[in-house]
Amino acid sequence: MSYIKLVDVTKKFGEVIAVNNLNFEIGEGECFSMLGPSGCGKTTTLRMIAGFEDIDDGEIYAGDKTLSSKKRGYYLPPEKRDFGMVFQAFAVWPHLSVYENVAFPLKLKKLKREEIVQRTNDALKHTNLLDAAKKSPADLSGGGKQRVALARALAINPKVMLLDEPLSSLDPHLREEMRFEIKDLQKHYGFAIVYVTHDQSEAMALSDRILVMKLGVVQQIDSPLKVYNEPANKFVFSFIGLSNFLNVSVSDKGIKTKDSGIVSYPKYPIDDALKTQKDIVLASRPSEIGFLSEGGIPGILKRKSFLGEIIDYAVDVNGAEIRIQKGRKEPGPNTGETCHLDFYHPHWYSCND
Amino acid sequence: MNIVKKPGLSITNIILFISIGILVIFVAFPVLLILFNAFFGGGTLNVKDIVSVVSNPETYQALLNSVFIASGTTLFSTIVGTFFAWLVTRTDLPFKGFMKIVFLVPFMLPSFIGAIAWKMLLNPRAGYINRFFMDTLGFSDPVFNIYSYLGMMLVETMYLFPFVFIQVSGALERMDPTLEESARISGAGLFTITRKITIPLVLPSVISGALLIMLYSMAHFGTVAVLGMEHGIFNIPTLIYEKIHASAGNFQSIRTATVLASVLIISAACIIWLQRKVLGSGKYQIIGGKSFRPVELKLRGLRYPLLFICLGYIAFTILLPTLTIFLVGGLKTYGLPFTMENLSLANYHFVLFEWQLTKDAIFNSVTLGFAAAVITMFAGVMISYVLVKMKVRGKGILEFLGVLPFSVPGSVIALGVILAWSGKFGINLYNTVWIILVAYIARYMAFSLQANKAALSQVHDSLMEAAQACGATMGQTLKDIVLPLVRPGMLSAFFLIFLPALRELTVSVMLYSPATRTLGVAIYTLNEDGETVYSAALAGIALIIIVLGQLFIKKVLGAKQQ
Ligand SMILES: Nc1ncnc2c1ncn2[C@@H]1O[C@H](COP(=O)(O)OP(=O)(O)O)[C@@H](O)[C@H]1O
Ligand SMILES: [Mg+2]
């Protein structure tokens, strides 16, 4: 059942269209990530959901409540939306203790004393902060501060948590640990998560569905597996992992680069729509390319780096660099040699993407 | 192999000794003389003697007045400064950018000139405003008497509130906006956020600005000298002035003056210590985040009334007094109405080109300011270099001495140099310009240290080590690497000293002789002597020089940054 719903949402800052005609729905208890490079409009979208930005077009709903509507000129201020939100820079209040930070939203709700105490302690317990309750958050580490921010956000037991790159100010090893903590909290409290990140592995690890964005425009909304296996276009493909692109020309018989003979790929047929274009792009991951003794697409090995468990090859194919990664025990050519490439799982995209 | 030879320890030590020497001779020695004279004036420590000095009604009253006027000024300035800072940073007030600049203008204007202007406007009998109310509107009594405690507090507030304004608006601007946004999403309305989050978070900045005002106002000479003295209201600096001038060198007067000065030194030290403690408490690290969207409070219906209040404040406290100075400076005789036939540029012409006294005063101020700025700039960069960059034994002493210039008010310095340089120790500079120069160096050392330390701490140690590793000697490193990098700091130190020195009154008024009047002293004494129109004309010229100087700096330093 969908809970948050965005319909045709657009936001402009002067000439810049930060978010362009956005449509999506988020289910109750779902973990939904927005992924994209810096400046693509993720934060702006989140802030429109939170109510910090008004919208230039469209509507935002939560359940049967309207949050923002351009048409009706309606706008519910953030303090009335009952969401939890966690910011990148922690934003915990240094003049209040950890306990007071977490109790702040509950006090504003004018709950009974015992209930405030009970719910604050509950939130502190689940974020492992009970021992630090009396401390100033300024005395905690980055991870500790972010836990306070999480506890404060979930104290009111919100239906939706908005997280804006909450882990990007933390050390890498802490980041992974906190991912799981967030997941556990979600299981316990049952809130939906709208998660903003530019780190694709974070999005993959956490989410039920991922939205990939570029310059304010949605590129794809799918499950992590689908986004990884079937990127909707060249941009999504390149954003989701290490990628190789090769311009090739197509004909009925197969594909060819400038220097290769015709190679046919019967296992991974090319869309009929793409076939009508003469030149298309072959996209491939470094682990999905092999070396043949002959045939395939020819290139010259420029560099071979030993990275421990794997060996990284850089092959020059008509001026394009193709990266290939193989296990250290698998045989491979040496620098300067001509090699023949076999693409196991090629993806085909139009040149104009 | 080319072995990099460390230049002998001797050079480092010599620099350290010179640095310590400068601070000792110019700052520590005069201050110690004051403290010594106050506590051991009779040869031994005599507490009863000190108590009798302090409990003399005159001294006691001056102490009380200083504290009372400073407290009132601090209270008003803090309210005004915080309110305006909040308005221009956190609301949708129109013309915010313009007002942010205008609220800093009072900083440029010398407050004693302001006091003179307010005397012309609100003198109970002759002030233009009071006369307007009594003559034109038929009031039987003057609306306000500027010769009062409240009058002095308000005039000081007009010129000092920027201390709080700068600190608080800076804190509000740098403050991570998500601190407020997270309160908002927690369910707090803008009023609750302001009360529970914003204000507590900027409180250290408010307090720090307030303490600066307290310090400045307790030791402030100009306003009380113009508005209080002739009506028997003295504060510490004006009483020191009175004692030094009225009773040239009389032992008991010097004693009283040194006791008063000691009170100033001790309070200043306490205030500075407190300020550093408040600002230093790391708990209030509120800066951060990349978000650039502070919550803007929609003033709605209050938008235009508040705009009107701001513009009214600017017109009343900045434009009106400035205009008054220029108009009175154009009058044939003080007291005439401002009509075309009474106004001319004759007075301006006279004080600029004809009258030796005022011409000398301008010349003295410019040369003294320039000399003090150059000397202090170089001394400051050397001392800062030792403080920030050098690792030598004995640096602790310098660090202690380096704090001293910050806590010594102008009137204390003047008294100190009189004690030190009046022949008692072999050199007599009394009644010469040199004694003013010596005092200026001590007075402005803090500015130079601050600017240069800031610039030097931007220069990373590794830059110099890299140069030395390339075979450069310490001298070459200094010349080719460090000097270009610290030049901006030195330049800003120069202007930070030159401009205030141009309009300086507190120090020079205690040290001047008829031949060594500074611009400030000339304006002040002419006004005291009833030469009101010449005083105003000279003040007008001073204002023009100050504004032009400020614009020039902006241009020079602004160009440097690109
Ligand atoms: N308050 C603002 N004023 C002007 N431009 C803004 C503002 N906020 C965001 N933008 C612009 O909108 C675009 C999207 O920004 P943002 O949502 O912060 O991106 P992301 O979070 O994906 O990095 C950027 O081009 C940014 O410069
Ligand atoms: Mg962002």
**B514 reaches A (C-beta below 8 A):** no
Q: For ligand 1, atom 3, which residue shows the shortest CA distance? A: A13
Contact predicate A92/A145, CB 8 Å:
yes
Express each pLDDT in B135-145 by its tens digit: 888 888 888 88
Q: Which of B19-28, B50-59, B251-260 has the highest mean pLDDT?
A: B19-28
Does B48 lie at the interface with A, CB-CB under 8 angstroms? no
Residue from B180, B184, B185 whose CB has the most chain A CBs within 10 Å, to mutate: B185
* Average pLDDT score over residue span A192-201: 93
A-B contacts at Cβ under 8 angstroms: 84
Same-domain check for residues A209 and A282? no
B299, pLDDT greater than 80: no
Buried b or exposed e, range B142-173, using 16+ CB within 10 angstroms: bebbbbbeebbbbbbbbbbbbbbbbbbbbbbe
Q: What is the DSSP track for B436-482?
A: HHHHHHHHHHHHHHHHHHHHHHHS-HHHHHHHHHTT--HHHIIIIII
- Residue A293 CB–ligand 1 contact under 6 Å: no
B472's CB contacts (< 8 A; 6+ apart) are B480, B481
pLDDT of residue A207: 94
Tell me which chain B residue has its CA closest to the CA of residue A83. B185
- Average pLDDT (B373-398) is 84
Cβ-Cβ contacts under 8 Å, A150 against chain B? none
Mean pLDDT computed over B468-475: 73
pLDDT (average), residues B454-458: 79
Tokens of A99: 């306990």
Judged by CB atoms closer than 8 Å, whether chains meet at A149 and B282 is answered as no
- Residue B247, pLDDT score: 67
Domain end point (choices A204, A235, A266): A235
Asked if A94 and B185 come within 8 Å (Cβ–Cβ), the reply is: no
**pLDDT for position B372:** 94
**Residues B501/B545, Cβ–Cβ less than 8 Å:** no
pLDDT over threshold 70, residue B42: no
Question: Looking only at Cα atoms, what is the longest distance across chain A?
Answer: 79
CA separation for the pair A144, A306 (Å, rounded): 38
Q: How close A104 gets to chain B, by Cα (Å)?
A: 8
Q: Above 70 in pLDDT, residue B147? A: yes
- Whether residue A40 sits in one domain with residue A7: yes
User: pTM for this structure?
Assistant: 0.80
Per-residue pLDDT, averaged over B168-178, amounts to: 85
Residue of A nearest to B184 (CA): A79
CB burial class (10 A; 0-12, 13-18, 19+) of residue A10?
middle
Question: What's the CA gap between A62 and A84, in Å, rounded?
Answer: 14
Residue A219 has pLDDT above 70, yes or no: yes
| Residue, of B3 and B444, whose pLDDT is higher | B444
Position B5 scores a pLDDT of 45
3-state secondary structure of B94: coil
Domain of A190? 2-235
Domain ranges of chain B: 10-54+347-562, 56-173+201-256+309-329
**Which of A29, A106, A122 lies closest to B186 in space, CA to CA?**
A106
Domain B56-173+201-256+309-329 is in which class?
mainly alpha
Contacts of A308 (CB under 8 A, 6+ apart): A328
Q: Among candidates B277, B270, B518, B511, which has minimal Cα distance to B406?
A: B270
Residues A101 and A246 in one domain: no
pLDDT at A326 > cutoff 50: yes
B176, A91 contact by CB (below 8 A): yes
Whether residue A179 is found in the same domain as residue A310: no
For chain A, what is the HEC assignment?
CEEEEEEEEEEEECCEEEEEEEEEEEECCCEEEEECCCCCCHHHHHHHHHCCCCCCEEEEEECCEEEEECCCCEECCHHHCCCEEECCCCCCCCCCCHHHHHHHHHHHCCCCHHHHHHHHHHHHHHCCCHHHCCCCHHHCCHHHHHHHHHHHHHCCCCCEEEEECCCCCCCHHHHHHHHHHHHHHHHHHCCEEEEEECCHHHHHHHCCEEEEEECCEEEEEECHHHHHHCCCCHHHHHHHCCCEEEEEEEECCEEECCCCCCECCCCCCCCHHHHCCCEEEEEECHHHEEEECCCCEEEEEEEEEECCCEEEEEEEECCEEEEEEEECCCCCCCCCCEEEEEECCCEEEECCC
What one-character DSSP code corresponds to residue B8? P
Do A194 and A55 lie in one domain? The reply is yes
Residue B283 DSSP class = G
- Decide if B386 contacts B15 (C-beta within 8 A): yes
**What is the average pLDDT across B283-307?**
66
The band of B553, judged by pLDDT with boundaries at 50, 70 and 90, is: confident
Q: In whole angstroms, what is the distance from residue B474 CA to residue B472 CA? A: 7
What CATH architecture applies to the domain B10-54+347-562? Orthogonal Bundle (1.10)
- Atom 18 of ligand 1, residue of closest alpha carbon: A43
Q: Which residues on chain B are in Cβ contact (under 8 Å) with A84? A: 185
Asked if the C-beta of A137 comes within 8 angstroms of chain B's C-beta atoms, the answer is no
pLDDT tens digits, A30-58: 999 999 999 999 999 999 999 988 899 99
CA distance B142 to B132: 9
Among candidate residues B274, B273, B280, B497, the one with its CA nearest the CA of residue B400: B273
Are the C-beta atoms of residues B109 and B322 closer than 8 Å to each other? yes
State residue B116's pLDDT score: 94
What is the ipTM for the molecules in this complex? 0.85
Q: In this structure, how many other beta carbons lie within 10 angstroms of the beta carbon of residue A146?
A: 29
Tell me which residue of A153, A231, A226, A227 sits closest to A193, measured CA to CA. Answer: A153
Please give the average per-residue pLDDT across B184-207, as a whole number: 88
- Residue A329: is its pLDDT beyond 90? no
Paired tokens of B541:
């010229």
Calpha distance B207→B237 (Å, rounded): 24
Rounded Cα–Cα distance for residues B227 and A259 (Å): 94
Is pLDDT of B262 > 80? Answer: yes
- Expressed in angstroms, the distance from the first to the final Cα of chain A is 34
Its sign, for the CA torsion B261, B263, B264, B269, is: positive
Contact criterion met (CB below 8 Å) for B109 and B314 = no
Looking at every residue in chain A, the average pLDDT score rounds to: 89
Q: How far is A67 from A194, CA to CA, in rounded Å?
A: 16
Average model confidence (pLDDT) for chain B? 85
pLDDT score for B388: 82
Cα separation, A242 vs B556, in Å, equals 50
Tell me the pLDDT tens digit for each residue of B339-350: 888 888 888 888
What pLDDT shows up at residue B248? Answer: 64
Phi and psi at residue A39, in whole multiples of 5°? 90, 5
**Residue A33, token pair as written in the block:** 């990530």
Out of A235, A256, A288, pick the residue that ends a domain. Answer: A235
Separation in Å, CA B133 to CA A72, B125, B144, B315, B317: 55, 11, 10, 19, 19
CB atoms within 10 A of CB A110: 8
Q: Are residues A176 and A281 in the same domain?
A: no
Q: Is residue A273 domain-shared with residue A200, that is, in the same domain?
A: no
Question: Confidence band (pLDDT; 50, 70, 90) for B287?
Answer: low
Strand-pairing partners, residue B181, are none
Does the pLDDT value for residue A213 go beyond 90? yes
Helix (H) or strand (E) holding B199, with range, is helix B199-218
State how far the alpha carbon of B560 is from the alpha carbons of B325, B488, B557, in Å: 35, 8, 5
C-alpha angle with apex A259: A258 to A263, nearest 5 degrees?
A: 90
Per-residue pLDDT, B140: 83
CA dihedral over B527, B533, B537, B538, signed as positive or negative: negative
Which residues are bridge partners to B91 per DSSP? B297
The last residue of one of the domains, among A182, A216, A235, is: A235
User: Which ligand gives the minimal distance to the CA of A168?
Assistant: 2
* Interval between CA A211 and ligand 2 midpoint (Å): 15
pLDDT for B560 equals: 55
Rounded to a whole number of angstroms, the distance from the CA of A221 to the nearest CA of chain B is 27
Residue whose CA is closest, atom 9 of ligand 1? A44
CA quadruple B284, B287, B288, B289: dihedral sign: positive
Q: Do domains B10-54+347-562 and B56-173+201-256+309-329 have the same CATH topology?
A: yes
Q: Does B246 touch chain A (CB under 8 A)?
A: no
Query: What strands, in cross-sheet order, belong to the sheet with A320-327?
Result: A289-292, A338-343, A297-306, A310-317, A320-327
Same-domain pairing of A89 and A10: yes
Work out which ligand 1 atom sits closest to the CA atom of A42.
22
Task: Tell me which residue of B217, B198, B203 sits closest to B167, measured CA to CA.
Answer: B203
Rounded alpha-carbon distances, angstroms, from residue A88 to A43, A83, A166, B288, B526: 10, 16, 5, 10, 62
User: Taking 50 as the threshold, does the pLDDT of residue A68 lie above it?
Assistant: yes
Shared-domain flag, residues A105 and A166: yes
Which two structure tokens, joined as six digits, stand for B221?
Answer: 């000479």
Q: Check whether residue A215 and residue A331 sit in a common domain.
A: no
Report the residue among A44, A45, A52, A194 best suited for mutation to probe ligand 1: largest number of ligand atoms under 8 A from its CB: A44
| Total count of domains within chain A | 2
Residue-wise pLDDT for B81-111, tens only, equals 999 999 998 888 899 889 988 998 888 889 9
For residue range A108-155, list pLDDT tens digits in order. Answer: 988 899 999 999 999 999 998 999 899 988 888 888 999 999 999 999
Which chain A residue shows the shortest CA-CA distance from B294? A52
The pLDDT-based confidence of B157 (bands split at 50, 70, 90) is very high
The count of other CB atoms within 10 Å of the CB of residue A201 is 14
More confident residue, A40 or B555: A40
Buried-exposed string B90-100: b where 16+ CB fall within 10 A, e elsewhere: bbebeebeebb
Do A31 and A152 share a structural domain? yes
**8 A C-beta contact, residue B426 and residue B279:** no
Mean pLDDT of B319-340: 88
pLDDT over 80 at B243, yes or no: yes
CATH number at A99 reads: 3.40.50.300
Ligand nearest to the CA of A18: 1
Verify that A223 and A339 share a domain, yes or no: no
Nearest Cα to Cα of residue A96 among A105, A86, A87: A105
* Residue B3 confidence (pLDDT): 44
Res. B282 pLDDT band, cuts 50 70 90 = very low
Whether chain B has a CB inside 8 Å of the CB on A95: the answer is yes
Q: Which helix (H) or strand (E) holds B388?
A: helix B356-389
pLDDT of residue B346: 84
Cβ neighbours of residue A85 closer than 8 Å, sequence gap 6 or more: A50, A153, A161, A162, A163, A164, B181, B182, B185
CA distance B28 to B32: 6
Count of helices and strands (H, E) across chain B:
29, 0
